[in-house]
Structure 1
Amino acid sequence: MAKNLGRSIFKTTILIFTILLSIAFLHVCLVPFISSAKFWWVGFAGLAAPFLIVSLIFTVVFWLYAKPKWALLPILVLAIGYRQVDAVFAYHFKAVFNPEKLENTLRVVDWNVQSFNGLSTNKQVKKLIPNDIAESIKRLNPDVICLQEFNHSKTEAGNNIGLFKNLYPYYYFSKDYKRNASGYFSGCIIFSKFVIIDTGKINYPKAESLIFADILKGKDTIRVYTTHLQSFKFKKNDYDNIDKIKEQEEDALNASRNVFNKMKPAFQRRGIQAGMVKDATAQSPYPTIICGDFNDVPNSYTYFTIKGDKQDAFLKKGFGIGRTFISIAPTLRIDYVLADKQFDVLQFDMVDEGLSDHIMLVTDLMLKTK
């Protein structure tokens, strides 16, 4: 009797849990259609999506064993949110990336280089970071390089453009942040082996920008965009607060409040920026590639707005969840290479060189014959 009662209570608890999960995930399904510029809470909903999806899959397995008819609820909810599921997981078993490029392909590298600060605290090691990053990229022999959090100065030690200029004589630098006295600039940059025939920059309301370069490859003109969207601007004390939340320490409530106060305006600003990127890329007269650090996950309003009907190189050729940012959580894919459907995505890889808090992305693309 007691055993049957215990089973009944356990099943009822799991049923309530399944219903609550389903309701929460249905809210996530609305994220692509609700601007985080106006409704900041959708940003948090997007962050929760991978955990909700995995939890729903577990409930499906449980109910198929315990009471199959109840498995229909999470199955139906996951079917409704198929776009969210597809955005998280890539299903192509990873093939070895071929360093040899096929003829007529365009190899693109995208990387947030973290201002060339690296991950080491050793000052001597830090001095080598710019050269190490440049060599890591050049080893892949890309045709186009898009870098975020790139900096350059007139000093010999800070001449980071010079690290690439011999092989990549054509470039366009956003110079979003300037210190004129020292000749220091930082922002996003596009390097190209091929001639750049036009460039452009669209400034965001608060800071940074979206830039593009029109690249002439043979008889084809390709427009490449790159950008760095609003970050949370977490500092060491913010990461300490996140650790307090994870460990459920006494000061976790206050820590949560501090982290929330940084995340909310970032979600709002990215909502505005995503709309600007969408409008700009829609006006491109050429086949378009956009890559960069969006600072938002694949389940976000930011991602769905910018992606539109473009191809996500990771989803086309990758496998798993594709983490690109190594701090905070194991599910943060926030860097992307998105290509118009005029391209075939031939191969894709993520290269962790241990030189930045972001992982380098590399992909080979080919324009489809008309």
Structure 2
Amino acid sequence: MTKRLFLLLTAIAAIAVVAIYIPPDEFYPAGFATLATPFLLIGTAIALVYFLFQKSRWSLAPAAVIVLFLVITNGMFSLGLHKEGAGDRETVKVISYNVNALNYFDRSQKYTGTLTAFASWLSNVRPDIVCLQETVPANFYKILPSYYRYFSGKETLEGDSLGLFIISRYPIAFAGKREFAFNSFNRLIWADVVINHDTIRVINVHLKSYNFYKASRLRKLKNIKGGLMARSYHAKLIRNFIDESPYRVVLCGDLNEPPHSYVYHTLSHKLRNAFEDAGTGYSYTYNFLGSPVRIDNIFASDGVVFSSYKAYHDITLSDHFPIEADIVLQDRD
């Protein structure tokens, strides 16, 4: 009986692992399967230990599933093997951070203190390009005042704006937005940033969250389904926008999806990831129900390489942690 249960669990885990290739907006159960993958893999690891103690040939089954997961899902861990030195080329420091409005909607003095701390930290870090999500533009124009910037957001019911910023030390030639739905908080903004004699397209995105606030259990399940389907569709829109770019691309943002997801796989199939190339070990950018997960990312297209990656776990101004990557533009052939 135990053997059958472990084999069934292993089979279900195998299905969940390959579900990464199925877009949830076309078949939403695939999204639920990928969410369950970490728990299924824990069970698969227990099955592997059980079969090894039994000296059973069935140990090959859970071992194969675990290997399959590690091969398909490259973004869970990193050894930094693809990190490239800058040499004599200029490095560009990029930061991506979901600031969660810096407590603006608390309507209290806490916002002023958080904003001041954020401005001080950013000035000390001295980034070249900053992509921010969930920002309220009030007072943000005073941060890094000599920088160029572009903002796009949606009006809240209280009359505020909430959206995305791209802030750049380098000039911005053109900028624009793509809303994922009419008047949606979730959108894509872009800026063509001129770096010396070259131009790159910086893209900043924020994909739909689950919005569990004050939701019943049934509503939470519906929100999970809606979030999975929406983000799957968003990923396709982002991929198509990248394909249309006349320049090399740097993509930043809050995906609200872990590496073992259709969304991450769709984007990393086209782009390199800062953590995968230049990070070390296991990194996280958000604590989801007490579990550390990496849902904030910096990607880049061919011709843009990463020389470093860092997550600032000591910066607790938001429910997310900021991430930083140094990029280097390779010479064109």
**Aligned to 1:361, which of 308, 323, 330?**
323
What is the match of residue 207 of structure 2? 229
What is the match of residue 35 of structure 2? 47
Deviation at 1:70, TM superposition (A): 2.0
- Please give the secondary structure, in 2, of the residue aligned with 1:115: helix
In 2, the alpha carbon distance for the partners of 1:351 and 1:32 equals 29
**Aligned to 2:48, which of 29, 49, 60?**
60
Deviation at 1:92, TM superposition (A): 4.4
Matched, 1:132 2:108: no
Identity percentage of aligned residues: 27
In 1, the alpha carbon distance for the partners of 2:263 and 2:155 equals 23
**Aligned to 2:287, which of 294, 305, 326?**
326
Matched, 1:209 2:187: yes
CA distance 1:161–1:16, shift in 2 (3 Å): farther
Instruction: For 2:324, give the aligned amino acid.
Output: V
Matched, 1:344 2:322: no
TM-score by length of 2: 0.89
In 2, the alpha carbon distance for the partners of 1:65 and 1:85 equals 28
What is the match of residue 165 of structure 2? 189
Deviation at 1:178, TM superposition (A): 5.8
Deviation at 1:53, TM superposition (A): 2.8
Deviation at 1:17, TM superposition (A): 3.6
What is the match of residue 160 of structure 1? 140
Higher-Rg structure is 1
**Aligned to 2:62, which of 64, 74, 78?**
74
Deviation at 1:144, TM superposition (A): 0.2
What is the match of residue 133 of structure 2? 148
Deviation at 1:185, TM superposition (A): 2.2
Instruction: Name segments (4+ residues, structure 1) moved above 6 Å.
Output: none
Instruction: For 2:323, give the aligned amino acid.
Output: L
| Cα deviation code 1:38-85 (max 9, x no counterpart) | 222222222222233343234334433431522211122233334444
Deviation at 1:24, TM superposition (A): 1.8
Matched, 1:109 2:134: no
Deviation at 1:369, TM superposition (A): 2.6
Matched, 1:277 2:245: no
What is the match of residue 21 of structure 1? 9
In 2, the alpha carbon distance for the partners of 1:67 and 1:185 equals 62
Deviation at 1:303, TM superposition (A): 1.3
| Cα deviation code 1:321-360 (max 9, x no counterpart) | 4221124141422111111131221111110211100010
Q: 1:118–1:356: 8 Å Cα contact kept in structure 2?
A: no
| Cα deviation code 1:4-23 (max 9, x no counterpart) | xxxxxxxx51x234312322
| Cα deviation code 1:178-237 (max 9, x no counterpart) | 67x96x4220110000011111211112513111111111111111101111111221x3
In 2, the alpha carbon distance for the partners of 1:224 and 1:80 equals 33
Q: Which moves more between the two structures, 269-278 or 325-334?
A: 325-334
Deviation at 1:174, TM superposition (A): 1.2
Deviation at 1:163, TM superposition (A): 1.8
Counterparts of residues 249-264 of structure 1 (less than 5 Å): 256-264=217-225
CA distance 1:21–1:86, shift in 2 (3 Å): farther
Q: 1:109–1:137: 8 Å Cα contact kept in structure 2?
A: no
Q: 2:89–2:328: 8 Å Cα contact kept in structure 1?
A: no
- Please give the secondary structure, in 1, of the residue aligned with 2:136: strand
What is the match of residue 154 of structure 2? 176
Q: 1:118–1:355: 8 Å Cα contact kept in structure 2?
A: no
In 1, the alpha carbon distance for the partners of 2:107 and 2:166 equals 29
| Cα deviation code 1:118-153 (max 9, x no counterpart) | 89x89433321112112222221110000000112x
Instruction: For 2:103, give the aligned amino acid.
Output: N
Q: 2:94–2:127: 8 Å Cα contact kept in structure 1?
A: yes
Q: 1:108–1:362: 8 Å Cα contact kept in structure 2?
A: yes
CA distance 1:135–1:101, shift in 2 (3 Å): farther
Instruction: For 1:66, give the aligned amino acid.
Output: Q
CA distance 1:64–1:284, shift in 2 (3 Å): same
Q: 1:323–1:330: 8 Å Cα contact kept in structure 2?
A: no
What is the match of residue 227 of structure 2? 266
